[in-house]
Structure 1
Amino acid sequence: MLLTGRALTADDATSTALLNCLVREVCAPEQQVWPDGAHLVVRLPRAGVVLRAGLARPPAGPTYRLVPPYEERRDDTWIPAPWDRLADLVAGELELATGRANPEFLAQVGDSHTALAAIIGARGEPRPEHGRYVASEQALVAGHRFHPSPKARQGAPADWLRYAPETRARFRPHWLAVREDLVAEEGAPGAFAALEEHGPPAPPRHRLLPVHPWQLGLLADRPLLRRALADRLVVDLGPSGAEALPTSSVRTVYLPDADLFCKFSLDVRITNCVRKNAWYELAGAVALNERLPRVFAGLGATLLAEPAYRSTTLADRRLYEGLGVILRQGVRDLPGTPLLAGALADPYGTFLSELPALSTPDGALAWWDAYVAHVAPPVLRAYLDHGVVLEPHLQNVLICVDGDGMPVRAAFRDLEGTKLTAGRWDLSGLPARVAEALTYDAGHGWNRVVYCLVVNHLAEIAAAVADLHPALDAVLWDTARRHFAACDGHPQVRALLAGVPLPAKANLRTRWSRTADRGATYVPAPNPLAVGPL
């Protein structure tokens, strides 16, 4: 672990995530958090329990650097508080705060802990031939630092370890051949041609359809698929000859031979939701891909295109969605070396410290200046000038760096999370359910932009830079302000610069209420863009 020198353990990572959520969503908004020397003390407002954690350094904006040991006060003594005790305490506090129980919560936290322990045990050695980009995609061992169950994953580890990016897995996708009249496809003609070049020959009057082998196993008992295979309407061609490398989202894989991504469906709950490609998301990706290139042409950033999807029209919606695959543009044409932003922010990793540009405080400040310049203005202008709600969280942004590690371009990805502001785009030609899934109202859209850009992304990158050079803590956000101030003609940005609290997505409360991710609520978080002390 970069902050403490300790090896990453499932116990410590689970405890850290639980306490991060508790501080952000429950204790800090009720002024029940205070520093005490090298510790952060946290009081559960309703249960009255007092906890403390090691504090690597003072908080920087809306993020914390909590480190073991984690302790609970009994009378006048501090005693160890293991991860499962913390989970029980968090559950008890939330039940008192909301007036309702959630019998699933402790199981989800336990599943995440089990998965993390299995990942740490199975993590292989880096493969230099895959390069730094793939290594960054597969670096997020502990996952989201502000989520109570960041590695919760449906199924036993034996079901999914072979497909897990965190274990540095690689596998061969499965190929089906679907009779031409049963193929569902939208998007750019010929978009799948480059992928098909790396697949087996299809039987006459059939077209190739790649499938995630985990998903194929989950769908194997569907009666309609079994009949279609028996009647050779669908032909099982077996595993691909080309390898796929799972990326940080698990279900999206990179095929380096074709320089393409396949965003597969997985009827599996991972962290928050079942990761299937709903029919309206398949159509929505193509609809956005037709509309957004002209927006990005003037933003100085790259949007990785999703030019087409393919599935089958067999009369079973679960098969239509479950076999639906979205094609995504590769990374070979990006300038420099793309790196996943999440890997740069990861306090358990070393990606940021290995970039030569950050070896000195002056170099690190120049690096941060360039980083914010490439990430923040495109996101703000997309929303303010065009009504496009990007989702620039740490797993959706690639930072292209030069040989010294200096940022030269940002690439945004995943059209599932990209939305359009209601009323600013003509979506009358789309089916009503597709248009609904593609839109946010203006307030929801702005909250999503600010949370993803500032709280989830820039605050975590800033904290990682300050881990390397603590003296920069006081000046990083002064530098960032300049890039936000370029958009201060807009009232929303002026409010940010005036210090209004930031909207932080309430992952803990959302899991407790079992709300769909789209309906997640927000809690106020300190705004580091404000002038003066927080």
Structure 2
Amino acid sequence: MHRPPTAETEVADELAVVRPGLLPGFTAGLPGARAAVLTRLWRAFAHEPLPWITGRDTVRDGLVLRLRDGRRLSGPAADPYRTDAYVRVVHLDDVPYDDPARLTTDLAVPHSAGFAAELGHSVASLALSRTARENHPDEWPDSDWAWEQRVVDGHPYHPNCRSRPGLSVADQLAYGPEHRPVVGLGLVPVPASACLVTGVWPSDLRDGARVLVPVHPWQAAHVLKLPCEERIAARPLMSLRTLAVPGGPHVKTALSARLTSSVRDISVASIAASATLSSFGEDLAARTDGLLHMTRTLGAATAHSPDLAAVLRESPEVYVSGGERVVPVAALATTGLPRRPGWPAAFARLALTVGLRALELGVALEAHGQNLLVVLDRAGDPLRLVYRDLADIRVSPARLARHGVPAPALPPRMLTDDPAVLRRKLFGSLVGGALAATVGSGPALREALEGAVRELPRTPDVVALREEPLPVKALTLMRTSPENAGDLWARLPNPLHWG
């Protein structure tokens, strides 16, 4: 009987043509990649408010989920903060499954077919990404982009952690940061009269009366359908569409491929607000006693289209000196950094102090492991934080006013005085994301948080952090709820009450 091709077989077939030397490592890595994605999926099943799950029963050897159609889904006890691939198999009634795509297909719940295809891509792309691990040296990198190349597995909790369905194997090898490529950015000339520019657009990206907009080669070929000479050599960062120009800025490009969950563009509104937002971020950082830096937006341009736009941002390296290193928080678990006893607690204390101070002032940072970076001293101890990409923060005009700070002119979607919305943004990204993934389990997260939280002033935000369930994005629910355009949320057990 002929079986239809899967994402795994498709990737293997293409890999055999474009890079056959990687095929043995890819094949050997598939079981581990399936377990990594299955672990993330089981976390979602155990904790997200999925409408087809009617009950959850804790049993001696794990967890049993009662499905709406009467079936049972069983697996190990689910620690929502654990990051190692500990789920190797789950059972749908009496049938074992080690493949998250096949499991999701056989669940046959609403919108599961498309999600199953994404999970298949995630497994195959993850196994492909892991073939790059042997190319990463053990010593500390000496550049900002080299730290980012170490984040091989993608999002620590999203089942679509490595889903790149818009990119071929050749594309992933050419553009994925874990493969350490040099990417040649093109320059598309746009008449200045047809281009919105904010900030200071550099003279070397102008050609008389035309603005030269940096464009990712994938975007040029697949979306713009333009021939594009590659003019700027750059190194891709974790987000893939943002690249570091060695010795220069970071360039955020439009890349209209679906990565992890969504197709992310650069809206005209975000270009229009970029200078205001950057200045506001600088003012906020100045109120944190030197514990936080905000990377400045140097310039932004768009041809009045989300498909052709770019943002130039300063490198976080401008905020370090004297042997210090600035490391994306997502890379902390991959670096083999020397950690003294109490390191996680010290990092949690720094991150919570800064995040809650900003929240009290009126700014909820989306401080996940990609946006948040930590400055380390020579011994690897945390000194201060760097935050980049302000596009998804939330700002409270009322809180700002209490501190005598006028609210900036920002897009309406960024403004809210609702404390639940503000806390979700910060707590979900910082505690449920950056800190949880750094320590890797519920017990470790509780230990890291306990000392830090005791030292914090007992504000309403801190009380909510200490006493309420932890809000995090319900990533699987969002992927299987196409009727909902915005964020959906799950409530995890408060890590401070763990055990």
> TM-score scaled by structure 2?
0.81
Aligned partner letter, 2:453: R
1:43 aligns with 2:55: no
Q: 1:396 to 1:48 in 2, by over 3 A?
A: same
2:411 maps to 435
Q: Which letter does structure 2 place at the counterpart of 1:394? A: G
2:357 pairs, out of 381, 390, 400, with 381
Cα separation, partners in 2 of 1:163 and 1:124, compared to 1, 3 Å: farther
Displacement, 1:277? 0.3
- From 414, 417, 424, the counterpart of 1:447: 424
Which residue is equivalent to 2:5?
Answer: none
Higher alpha-carbon deviation: 147-156 or 128-137: 128-137
- CA distance, structure 2, for counterparts of residue 166 and residue 245 of structure 1: 10
Q: How far has the Cα of 1:332 moved from its partner?
A: 2.4
Partner of 2:182, secondary structure, is coil
C-alpha displacement of 1:125 = 1.6
Give the match for residue 26 of structure 2.
none
Alignment of 1:21 onto 2:25: no
Deviations 1:146-169 (A, max 9, x none): 223222224242463111123222
Query: Which of 489, 493, 507 is 2:462 aligned to?
Result: 493
Among candidates 481, 486, 498, match of residue 513 of structure 1: 481
Instruction: Pick the aligned partner of 2:99 from 63, 75, 82.
Output: 82
1:503 aligned counterpart, secondary structure: strand
Which of 398, 420, 434 in structure 2 is aligned with 1:457?
434
Of the three residues 133, 136, 139, the one matched with 1:126 is: 136
In 2, the alpha carbon distance for the partners of 1:62 and 1:265 equals 32
How many aligned residue pairs are there? Answer: 458
Q: 1:512 to 1:481 in 2, by over 3 A?
A: same
Aligned to 2:3: none
Matches within 5 A, 1:102-113: 103-113=113-123
Counterparts of residues 115-514 of structure 1 (less than 5 Å): 115-121=125-131, 125-126=135-136, 131=142, 133-158=144-169, 160-161=171-172, 162-187=174-199, 189=200, 191-192=201-202, 196=204, 203-221=207-225, 238-240=229-231, 242-258=232-248, 260-299=249-288, 300-312=291-303, 317=304, 320-335=305-320, 336-345=324-333, 350-351=334-335, 354-356=336-338, 358=339, 363-365=340-342, 367-384=343-360, 386-423=361-398, 430=409, 435-442=411-418, 443-463=420-440, 475-482=447-454, 485-488=455-458, 490-497=459-466, 499-514=467-482
Q: Helix, strand or coil for the counterpart of 1:32?
A: strand
Work out whether 1:528 is the aligned partner of 2:495. yes
Q: Distance in 2 between matches of 1:71 and 1:129?
A: 38
Does the C-alpha gap of structure 1 residues 62 and 90 become closer, same or farther in structure 2, counting only changes over 3 Å? farther
User: Which whole-Å CA distance do the structure 1 matches of 2:273 and 2:431 have between them?
Assistant: 26
Cross-structure match for 2:23: none
Contact conserved, 1:306 with 1:415, CA < 8 A, in 2? no
Q: Secondary structure at the match of 1:481?
A: helix
Task: Name the aligned partner's letter for residue 285 of structure 1.
Answer: S
Superposition deviation, residue 449 in structure 1: 1.2
Q: What secondary structure sits across from 1:321 in the alignment?
A: coil
Contact 2:181 2:235 in 1 (8 A): yes
Q: Percent identity?
A: 24
C-alpha separation between the residues in 2 aligned to 1:515 and 1:307? 37
Query: Structure 1 residues 50 and 445, CA, compared in 2 at 3 Å: closer, same or farther?
Result: same
1:108-149: CA deviation from partner (whole Å, max 9, x where unpaired): 222323332333356672378963642331233222232232
State the AA in 1 paired with 2:378.
Answer: G
Preserved contact between residue 349 and residue 449 of structure 2 (Cα < 8 Å): no
Query: Secondary structure in 1 aligned to 2:162?
Result: coil
Deviations 1:330-363 (A, max 9, x none): 1222221111111224xxxx41xx222x2xxxx2
1:124 touches 1:167 (CA, 8 Å); kept in 2? no
Query: 2:330·2:370 contact (CA, 8 Å) conserved in 1?
Result: yes
Shift of 1:49: 1.9
**Offset from partner CA, 1:180-205 (integer Å, 9 cap, x none):** 44442112x3x535xx3xx7xx6544
Summarize deviations over 1:27-75 as a string: whole Å, max 9, x none. 9x977253646xx33434434323224x7xx94x754655143132755
Question: What displacement does 1:405 show?
Answer: 0.9
Q: Report the AA paired with residue 274 of structure 1.
A: V
What do residues 486-525 of structure 1 show as CA deviations (whole Å, max 9, x unaligned)?
231x22312322x2111121111111112566x2222221
Residue number among 8, 11, 36 corresponding to 2:34 in the alignment: 11
Structure 1 residue 292 displacement after superposition: 2.4
Q: 1:322 to 1:64 in 2, by over 3 A?
A: closer
Mark the CA change 1:91 to 1:145 in structure 2 (over 3 Å): closer, same or farther: farther
TM-fit CA distance, 1:440: 3.3
Question: Is the 2:374–2:384 Cα contact (8 Å) retained in structure 1?
Answer: yes
- Identify which range, 449-458 or 437-446, moves more after superposition: 437-446
The 3 A distance-change label for structure 1 pair 219 and 506 is closer
Structure 1 residue ranges without an equivalent (≥5): 1-5, 96-100, 227-235
> Where does structure 2 lack aligned partners over 5 or more consecutive residues?
1-28
Q: Distance in 2 between matches of 1:275 and 1:438?
A: 17
Counterpart contact for 1:262–1:326, Cα < 8 Å: yes
Supply the RMSD in Å over aligned alpha carbons.
Answer: 3.3
CA distance in 2, matches of 1:473, 1:17: 18
Aligned residue number for residue 230 of structure 1: none
SS of 2:440's equivalent?
Answer: helix
Structure 1: how far apart are the matches of 2:223 and 2:73? 48
Per-residue CA distance 1:377-426 (angstroms, 9 max, x = gap): 11111111x21121001111111111111111111111111221255569
Helix, strand or coil for the counterpart of 2:218?
A: helix
Q: What's the TM-score once normalised by structure 1's chain length?
A: 0.76
Output the CA distance in 1 between the equivalents of 2:341 and 2:407.
48
